[in-house]
A and B are shown apart, each in its own frame.
Chain A
Amino acid sequence: MKPGKIILASIVFAGQSSLATAEDIEFWYGNTGTIEAAIQTACEAFNESQSEHSVTCVGQGGYEPAMQKAIAAYRSQQHPVMIQLFDAGTLDLMLSDAVVPVQDIMPDVDWNDYLGGARSYYETSTGAMFSQPYNGSTLIFYANMDALGEVGVTEIPDTYEGVVEVARQLKENGHSCPVLQRVHPWFSLEQFSARHGEPIATNGNGYSGLDAEYVFNEGLVAEHLTNIAAWREEGLFRLPVDTEGEKNAFNTGECAMLETSTGAYGGTYAALGDSVGVGLAPVYEGYERHNTLIGGASIWVMKGHGDAEYSAASAFLEFVRQDAQQIEFTRTTGNLPVTKSALETLRGSDEAGAIEFATAELGVTSLSQPGDDNSRGIRLGFYVQFRDIFVEEVTKAMNEEQSVQEALDAAAGRGNELLRRFEQTYAGVALP
C-alpha cells in the first residue's frame, strides 16, 4: 500500500499548494508577439509597483489554446484567477458559470468611463460589465497614398462606391492589386454589418435571447460579398490567397488599399513609412454610418477563489486600467485606449501626435459613431466555431464551387444548428 499512499499524499499536496500562496495569483493570456511582450511588461510593472500582491502572467500561445486550457483547468478546479479571452468567445464565457462579473467584484469602479463600443460588447443586458476590456482594436481603412497619388487621388475614399472608383483608376493604370480584402468574418461580416446597422442574427445579434437565428444571408451582407466576388473577377479586389504577400500584401506594397485592424498600424508604418494613410472603413452610399465593434480581448475573473485572490485580481485590474498603463500599452501595441479618461489624458499629452498613437483617435472615432441594436456586439453561442464555418463556405464561393448566396445560406444554416445546440446545452440558463 505504500506507493498508493505516496501518490495520494502528493496529490493532496499538489491540490493544496495552490491554496498556500493566496496572494500570488495567475493570469492567463493568449497573445503572442508584441502584445505578449506588452502584457509581460505590465505584469512586471504591477509586481514592482506594490508588494502586497503578485501576479504571474502565463502565455498560452493563442486565444484558442488559452480557452481550451481554461476549460480543462476549470473542470479540474485548477483554473487561474484571471483569464484574457477574445471577443468571439464572450457568450461562451458569460454562460459558463465559471466567471464572476468584474462589476460584482469591483462595484466602485466608474465603469461608465469605458468607451461605449467597449462597454456594449462586454456588458450584460442590465448594463453591468462582465469583463474588463483590455486590448482593444477596431476596423479602419488603410491606403497607400503613393499608389493613390499615381492616379491623382489624394483623399482616402470613405464609401465603397468611392473605393471602387479609385480601384478602377488604379487598375487602368496597371496596378495589379488595388484592394486587398479579407473574407474572415471579423472583416467582412461583423465589422461590416455593425457599421451599416445590419443584423447578423435576430434578437439584436443575440443580445435579447438564446433563440436568435442568423439572418445575414438576406440583405446587405449578401449583396456586399456578391460585389466582392464580382470586383475580384474584374481585378479590382484581391483576396490574400490571390497575392504574393498574402495577408501582408498591403505592407509589401503589392496592394494599394485594405480594411484591417488599428493594431496593424505599427507594422504597416514600419514597412511603408509616410505613404500610409488611414481613414474610417468605407460604407455604402445611402447608409448611415454606425459604430464599428471593438476587437481584441477582455479580462475575465474566474469563480472559485477566495477574497485574498480577488483583492489581488482587483488590484491588478485597477493597475492596468490606469491611464498611464493604457497609454503605454497603446504605444507598444497599437491597440486603443479603452476608457474616456485615458483617451483624454493621451489627447492632452505632448505625445498625442506621435506615430504610435496615429490610429488611436481614428479608432475611437469609429467606435463612437451612433449605434443601434445591431452594432452593440455579438452575443451568439459557439461563435468561434461559426467563424470557421463562415470562412469555409465563403472560400468555396470564392473558388466558384458555389454561389455567394449558396455559401451564405449554408453558413447561416450550419450556424443556426450551432445556436440550437448552444441553446440546448444551456437550457434553463438565462442570458445575463
Chain B
Amino acid sequence: MIERSNSIQRVAAFVMVIGTIFILAPLVIAFLTASRSYEEFVQAGGIEFSVGSHFVANIREILFETELPRQLINSFVISLLVAFIKCSFAFLATFALVFYQSRLNTLIFALTIATVMLPLELIVITTYQVVANVAMPLNWLLSILGIANLSEWIFGWRPEFQLSLLDTYIGVAAPIATSCTSVFIYRQFFLSLPQDLPKAATMDGAGPIRFMIDILLPLSWTPLVATFMFWFIGGWTSYLWPLVAASTPDAQPAIVGLAKMANADDETIPNVPLLMAGALFVSFIPVLLIAFMQRQIVQGLNLSEK
C-alpha cells in the first residue's frame, strides 16, 4: 500500500473479519451441531456453541446407515462425466471452429454460445420428456419423412423406438453438460496462441489431428484442468435436474439424497445433528477442491493476465 492510513486499514480488517465470519458461520454451526448426539440435541433444544464429542459417531452413522456414501459415488461419477463432456466436446469443437476454414464456423459458434443464455433449470419440464425417451426425435424424423408409414405399409410394423436415460449417470450428466461456456473459453485461448503454429506443424509433417494431440493439447493443459475442476464443482452442486432425472435413491447424487433426508416425513424430531453431518459430508469434496486448488482454478481460467 502507498501509505499507512489507520482508519481505513482498521475498517478493512474489520470488514474482512466480519465477512469471513459470515461465510464460515453456517459451516461452523453445522459442525458444532454435528458434534452432538441426537439425545444431547433434543435435550438442549437447539444450537449450542461448544464442540461435542459425537462428530465421529455421526459421520459413522452417515457412512454405514444412510445411502449418502453410495450417493457420494454417484455425485462423483456424474460430476466427472459433466466435466469430461464439457471439456472434451468443447475442445474438439473449438479446435475445428478456430483452425478450420468453414462457412459453418459462425453458425456453429452462435449455436453453441446460445446455450449459455438459457439455464437447464428453465427448460427442465421438456428436457425430462426428452431424456425419458431419447429416441423421440428419431421417431419424429421417421414419421415426418414418411418412413414410419412406409414401414407400416410394407412390413405391418410401425417403428417406434424407446430408450429412457432417466436414473442413469449419462442421463443426469448430459443435459447439465449442454451449457457450452467452455467453447468460449477455449476459443479465447486458441486465439491467443501464435498465429503460425499450425503452419509450423504442417511443415513438420503433422496433420490436423496430430497437431491437436501433440501440440495444442499440451499447450492447453492449464485452462483444461481449470475448467475441468470448475465444471466438476458445477456438476456436483447442481440440484433441480438431478432431483427430477434421478428419482430412485440408488441413482441420486448426494445433494439430492441429503435434501430427501431432510424432507423425510418422520414421526420423531428430525435428527438435526445427523443432517448437519450429512450436509458437511456431501460438501467436503468440492470445498477441499476449491480450498486447495483455488490458485490453479482461478489462474487457469484467467488466461493471459498476470
Q: Do chains A and B touch in the complex (CB under 8 A)?
A: yes
A residues neighboring B (CB under 8 Å): 8, 10-12, 14-15, 32-33, 58-62, 65-66, 68-69, 72-73, 75-78, 244-245, 247-248, 251-252, 264, 266-268, 270-271
State in angstroms the CA–CA spacing of A317 and B135 once bound together.
33
* Most chain B CB inside 10 Å of its own CB: which residue of A8, A11, A66, A247: A11
Query: Does B302 reach chain A (CB closer than 8 Å)?
Result: no
Interface contact B162-A61, CB-CB below 8 Å: no
Query: Given A11-B163, A14-B163, is A60 in contact with B247 using a C-beta cutoff of 8 Å?
Result: yes
Interface contact B247-A69, CB-CB below 8 Å: yes
Secondary structure of the B contact surface, majority rule: loop
Query: Given A15-B161, A59-B249, A61-B247, is A75 in contact with B132 using a C-beta cutoff of 8 Å?
Result: yes
User: Which chain A residue shows the least CB distance to B246?
Assistant: A61
State in angstroms the CA–CA spacing of A32 and B248 once bound together.
11
Shortest beta-carbon distance from B174 to chain A in Å: 14
User: Which chain A residue shows the least CB distance to B252?
Assistant: A61
For B139-166 the 0/1 string (1 means CB < 8 A from A) is 0000000000000000000001111101
Interface contact B268-A251, CB-CB below 8 Å: yes
State in angstroms the CA–CA spacing of A306 and B47 once bound together.
58
Interface contact A58-B248, CB-CB below 8 Å: yes
Shortest beta-carbon distance from B138 to chain A in Å: 7
Query: Given A59-B248, A61-B249, A65-B247, is A78 in contact with B164 using a C-beta cutoff of 8 Å?
Result: yes
Interface residues of B, CB < 8 Å — how many?
26
Query: Given A78-B164, A244-B45, is A266 in contact with B267 using a C-beta cutoff of 8 Å?
Result: yes
Complex A-B: 29 CB contacts under 8 Å: A8-B161, A10-B163, A11-B163, A12-B161, A32-B260, A58-B248, A61-B248, A61-B249, A62-B247, A65-B247, A68-B247, A69-B247, A72-B129, A72-B132, A72-B133, A73-B132, A73-B164, A76-B132, A77-B160, A78-B132, A244-B45, A247-B265, A248-B268, A251-B267, A251-B268, A252-B269, A264-B267, A267-B267, A268-B267
Interface contact A68-B244, CB-CB below 8 Å: yes
Shortest beta-carbon distance from A261 to chain B in Å: 10
User: Which chain B residue shows the least CB distance to A74?
Assistant: B132
User: Which chain B residue shows the least CB distance to A254?
Assistant: B269
Shortest beta-carbon distance from A48 to chain B in Å: 23
Residues of A within 8 A of B260 (CB): 32, 61
Closest 9 CB pairs of A and B: A267-B267, A76-B133, A72-B132, A65-B247, A11-B161, A14-B163, A15-B162, A11-B163, A60-B247
User: Which chain A residue shows the least CB distance to B251?
Assistant: A61
Interface contact B266-A248, CB-CB below 8 Å: yes
State in angstroms the CA–CA spacing of A66 and B244 once bound together.
11
Query: Does B291 reach chain A (CB closer than 8 Å)?
Result: no
State in angstroms the CA–CA spacing of A245 and B46 once bound together.
11
State in angstroms the CA–CA spacing of A119 and B70 once bound together.
41
- Given A10-B163, A68-B244, A248-B269: 19 more A-B contacts, CB < 8 Å: A15-B162, A33-B264, A33-B265, A58-B248, A59-B249, A61-B252, A61-B260, A69-B247, A72-B164, A72-B166, A76-B133, A76-B136, A76-B164, A77-B162, A78-B164, A248-B266, A251-B268, A252-B269, A271-B267
Query: Does B91 reach chain A (CB closer than 8 Å)?
Result: no
B residues neighboring A (CB under 8 Å): 45, 128-129, 132-133, 135-136, 138, 160-164, 166, 244, 247-249, 252, 260, 264-269
Query: Given A60-B248, A61-B248, A75-B132, is A32 in contact with B269 using a C-beta cutoff of 8 Å?
Result: no
State in angstroms the CA–CA spacing of A10 and B165 once bound together.
13
Residues of A within 8 A of B132 (CB): 72-73, 75-76, 78
Residues of B within 8 A of A10 (CB): 163
Instruction: Pick the contact of B162: A66, A76, A264 (CB < 8 A).
Output: A76
Instruction: Pick the contact of B135: A11, A62, A247, A251 (CB < 8 A).
Output: A11
Interface contact A75-B247, CB-CB below 8 Å: no
Instruction: Pick the contact of B268: A8, A75, A76, A271 (CB < 8 A).
Output: A271
State in angstroms the CA–CA spacing of A429 and B249 once bound together.
37
State in angstroms the CA–CA spacing of A222 and B29 once bound together.
43
State in angstroms the CA–CA spacing of A190 and B128 once bound together.
33
Residues of A within 8 A of B249 (CB): 59, 61
Shortest beta-carbon distance from B104 to chain A in Å: 20
Query: Given A65-B247, A248-B268, A267-B268, is A75 in contact with B129 using a C-beta cutoff of 8 Å?
Result: yes
Interface contact B267-A78, CB-CB below 8 Å: no
Residues of A within 8 A of B128 (CB): 72
Query: Given A11-B138, A61-B248, A72-B166, is A245 in contact with B160 using a C-beta cutoff of 8 Å?
Result: no
State in angstroms the CA–CA spacing of A8 and B160 once bound together.
11
User: Which chain B residue shows the least CB distance to A64?
Assistant: B247
Shortest beta-carbon distance from A375 to chain B in Å: 26
Interface contact A245-B161, CB-CB below 8 Å: no
Residues of B within 8 A of A14 (CB): 162-163
State in angstroms the CA–CA spacing of A10 and B135 once bound together.
11
Query: Given A11-B162, A72-B129, A75-B129, is A245 in contact with B269 using a C-beta cutoff of 8 Å?
Result: yes
User: Which chain B residue shows the least CB distance to A58?
Assistant: B248
Residues of A within 8 A of B244 (CB): 65, 68
State in angstroms the CA–CA spacing of A266 and B268 once bound together.
11
Shortest beta-carbon distance from B212 to chain A in Å: 20
Residues of A within 8 A of B267 (CB): 248, 251, 264, 266-268, 270-271
